[in-house]
Amino acid sequence: MEKGKRMATISERLASSLTILKDLQEVEKIAVKSSELSRTHRERLVRSGFLKEVMRGWYIPTRPDEPVGESTSWYTSFWYFCAAYLEERFGKEWSLSPEQSVIIHAGNLTVPRQLLVRAPGARNQTTQLPFDTSIFETRAKMADAEEEVVDAHGLRLFSLESALIYSPEVFFRNNPVDVRAALATFRDGTELLRKLLDGGHSVVAGRLAGAFRNIGRDAIAADILAGMRSVGYTVTEQDPFAAPSTLLLPSRQVLPQVNRLHLMWLSMRETVLEEFPEEPGIPADREGYLQRVADLFVNDAYNSLSIEGYWVSADLIERIKAENWQPEARDSDRQHRDAMAARGYWLAFQSVKKELQAVLEGAEPGKVAESAHRTWYRELFAPSVEAGIIRASDLAGYRNQPVYIRQSKHVPPGSELVRDLMPAYFELLSTEKSAAVRAVLGHFVFVYIHPYVDGNGRIARFLMNLLMASGGYPWMIVPMSRREEYMAALESASADQQIRPFARFLASILES
């Protein structure tokens, strides 16, 4: 070593490797090939927990504190990894299947168990990936240049028109929410009819005409039939869905994610009604109801905060409740993240009780929820702002960045969609007649959208109990001891569109 030249410390060497990883991520290299990093940097990042091998020669970024066997970093990187891996394998000569293309056009980015890919150079084989996911490649027809769409993740999709044409009838029956949400984005049938005519797709034209009529778009259905018949095709209209749609989707063009939200709600509400006990009705003793809620605070706060990963004690919660929280005298009260969360929960709980009273006195619960949830969010995190843990601007409103849910295949909608989805969510709450449906789906859909960077679970449980009160149901505490069951039920609803486990889970708590 040259005289006077200092050797870099371990921290400095790690920082240099992280800088290179950061530069790769800034150009959307969410999945990293081994050739993009030197062996020294790669091994250092893997050893320190910032990089994880997915398969030979491929890595994804991860967090050093992510437990062994944790799936979050994989699900977060899944779509980016698949796009990068397929680009490396096939260049631009590949596309996702028509069916998967429709699902993504509908705004559904749930990680599939098997991703279906088409490419001329495919080997008709399965590539196994982490956590029971895989890619199946086939030599079937891929999207050509005129049909292709490349989405924000770098995925090559069939255009929606082509994807609908090439998707089989069984796909419509098995995926009614996604297909109806995609169909409802059409303003007219011009582009679709052009492709049907060019390809001579008379049978498909009858299927799509039936599908549009199913969702109440009679004008588009009639246009498809008339256009095909005008040049001599014999077309028989056929509804490909297993059942008629009872939801009249708006005739104007609406984001597919908003349509999908309405369709999800409709498809799930009957299941909730089957699983949940009948409404007891607003109690005559409203003051007694509110006092029982107040008495539950310590138990509720302990369980709700523990579910979210905060380590709080009953003693801390009692001190906050008794206004004996002393940040000036106790370092733990002033600096500890968990103490800030407990203080914020107390403040928000007081606000929730006021809104409960309004609902018990006859206020429309959907409107109360819409106006109150922002206040609850600010109350939850105001102590953290005062302590300098987060910035004041973080309390401004809905998130402006992507979020991911730990160990979940569900990818919440992009931040640019939240401001369209939340008004639709509150509209659904306000028009729903059943308090049980409002409470169960109100909780689920809120965490499905995930409108805030943090606090979504706590606010969802506040909303659930506010909406439960509108039917006279008692305040419900989701116990920490059943956290895994709770999260699994939410995952079933989010990733698999199966609401029954979640409705059944909440009903079991109510009856215990």
More confident residue, 8 or 506: 506
DSSP label of 267: H
Domain boundaries, the chain: 10-65, 94-251, 257-511
Question: For the chain, what is the largest distance between any 2 Cα atoms, rounded to a whole number of angstroms?
Answer: 90
More confident residue, 33 or 501: 501
More confident residue, 176 or 15: 176
DSSP label of 475: P
pLDDT (tens digit per residue) in 297-313: 999 999 998 888 766 56
Q: What is the pLDDT of residue 323?
A: 60
Q: Does the pLDDT of residue 334 top 50, yes or no?
A: no
The answer to whether 244 and 273 are in contact (CB under 8 A) is no
Mean pLDDT, residues 272-294 taken together: 95
The pTM for the full model equals 0.85
Mean pLDDT, residues 235-264 taken together: 83
Q: Of 8-12, 337-341, 491-495, which range is least confident?
A: 8-12
Fold assignment, 257-511 = Fic-like fold (1.10.3290)
The answer to whether 451 and 397 are in contact (CB under 8 A) is no
The fraction of the chain above a pLDDT of 70, given in percent, is 90
pLDDT (tens digit per residue) in 376-432: 999 998 888 776 777 787 777 899 888 888 889 999 999 999 999 999 999 999 999
Token digits of residue 32: 């990293």
Mean pLDDT computed over every residue of the chain: 88
More confident residue, 66 or 138: 138
A 10 A CB-CB count for 349 gives 22
Q: CA angle at residue 461 from 458 to 462, to 5 degrees?
A: 85
Token digits of residue 118: 């088409």
Q: Does the pLDDT of residue 82 top 50, yes or no?
A: yes
Q: What is the pLDDT of residue 37?
A: 84
A 10 A CB-CB count for 433 gives 7
DSSP 331-363: HHHHH-HHHHHHHHHHHHHHHHHHHHHHHHTT-
Residue 336: pLDDT band by 50, 70, 90 thresholds?
Answer: low
pLDDT (tens digit per residue) in 105-132: 999 999 999 999 999 999 999 999 999 9
C-alpha span between 188 and 237 (Å, rounded): 18
SS3 content of the chain, % helix, strand, coil (to 5): 55, 5, 35
Question: Residue 329, exposed/middle/buried by CB under 10 A (0-12, 13-18, 19+)?
Answer: exposed
Token digits of residue 9: 């410390």
pLDDT (tens digit per residue) in 191-230: 999 999 999 999 999 999 999 999 999 999 999 999 999 9
DSSP 154-210: S-EEE-HHHHHHHS-HHHHHH-HHHHHHHHTT-S-SHHHHHHHHHHT-HHHHHHHHH
Residue 4: pLDDT band by 50, 70, 90 thresholds?
Answer: low
